[in-house]
Amino acid sequence: MRRRPSAATAAAVLALLVLLALAAPLLAGLTGQDPNAYHDDLVDSARGGVPLGSLGGISADHWLGVEPGTGRDLFVRLLYGARISLLVALGATAVQILVGVAAGLAAALGNRFAGQLIGRLTDVMIALPMLVLGIALTAVVPADFPRTLLLILVIGLLSWGGTARMVRAQTQALQGLDFVAAARLSGNGTLRIARRELLPSLAAPVITYAAIQVPANIVAEASLSFLGVGVKPPTPSWGQMLSSAQTWFRADPLYVLLPAGLLFVTVLASTVLGDAVRTALDPREGSRLRIGTGKEAAA
């Protein structure tokens, strides 16, 4: 991966975004801005709340301008929005990987009835429209339930089907190999074989799949927040900011472009890094990349 400039650049971009998100309270204190503090004196009420000044009210105090209508500092809100978007994406990925790995192993190692039952359930979960179900579930849950945790659970529990199918197929392929047969002949039970023999061999494809799922979960969180069923105001998220920015596109284009640009860069960097992880952990892919480079002889 170090030899691939695209992977190194993607990793550096993601590391910078995570660092900025973690340092959001520190940077907010440095700029002296609160993400939820209104500044009515920074917007033109006669024009419907358009920020005063050029480029959305950019100044020494407000580095990226202010939010139309409220005057809240846009730089600080983008940082706090990154915390929500990244936390939900990583948390949902962890949930779907844990559930998917457990379901896939149970389907592959269980009896025929259990395998068919989990297989049909997996097919149903893959076929269900995740976004529609997510809207329905987040709309009926009580308002006092933590929205960030709710988004993590909804996205993770509705999208584990692909992980389960992949783990089941990989496990069935591994069961025919000699080291698994030797462990079974040695008297090891199913759980011990799964823990000591199968899980280490499943690590590479699971990590690869998780890396690819992170950008998909970022988009899912942004979509739910954009539709108004994500985190509730005044807690910021990039999807929520895009939703409220629809009516301000002509008056303040920067208010739309900043969260959209950050969302695009994050998803692009995550996708590139996920593809690099897949290539690095797949020996066959690495062999194909070496063809014609003069490295196949050395390999």
Confidence of residue 131 (pLDDT cuts 50, 70, 90): confident
SS3 state of residue 70: coil
Residues 6+ apart with CB under 8 A from 298: none
**175: pLDDT strictly greater than 90:** no
**When comparing pLDDT for 294 and 136, which is higher?**
136
CA dihedral sign of residues 50, 257, 226, 222: negative
> Are the beta carbons of 258 and 236 closer than 8 angstroms?
no
- 47-52: Cβ within 8 A, 24+ apart: 47/251, 48/251, 50/248, 50/251, 50/252, 51/252
| pLDDT on residue 291 | 45
**CA–CA separation, 274 and 10 (whole Å):** 9
Closest CA to 206 of 241, 171, 172: 171
Give, in order, the Cα–Cα distances in Å from 166 to each of 40, 114, 121, 130, 140. Answer: 53, 17, 14, 19, 32
Tell me the residue length of the chain: 299
**Burial label, 27 (beta-carbon count in 10 A; 0-12, 13-18, 19+):** middle
pLDDT digits (tens, 9 = 90+) for 238-273: 888 888 888 888 888 888 899 999 999 999 998 888
**235: pLDDT strictly greater than 60:** yes
| pLDDT on residue 83 | 92
Confidence of residue 211 (pLDDT cuts 50, 70, 90): confident
When mean pLDDT is compared across 47-56, 118-127, 145-154, 268-277, the lowest value belongs to 47-56
pLDDT over 70 percentage in the chain: 94
**When comparing pLDDT for 96 and 296, which is higher?**
96
- How many whole angstroms from its chain centre is CA 43? 34
How do the domains of the chain map onto residue ranges? 5-286
> Are the beta carbons of 212 and 279 closer than 8 angstroms?
no
Confidence of residue 183 (pLDDT cuts 50, 70, 90): confident
| pLDDT on residue 245 | 82
**286: pLDDT strictly greater than 70:** no
Q: Which residue carries 């069961």 as its tokens? A: 175
Beta bridge partners of 123: none
- Number of C-beta neighbours around residue 135 at 10 A: 18
Q: What is the mean pLDDT of residues 45-58?
A: 82
Residue 82 token pair: 């990154």
* Fold adopted by 5-286: MetI-like fold (1.10.3720)
**194: pLDDT strictly greater than 80:** yes
Residue 23 token pair: 């340092």
| pLDDT on residue 282 | 67
- Number of C-beta neighbours around residue 111 at 10 A: 8
Beta bridge partners of 73: 66
Give, in order, the Cα–Cα distances in Å from 213 to each of 93, 154, 236, 272, 275. Answer: 7, 15, 23, 12, 11
Q: What mean pLDDT, rounded, does the chain reach?
A: 86
pLDDT digits (tens, 9 = 90+) for 17-37: 999 999 999 999 888 888 988
Global confidence as pTM: 0.84
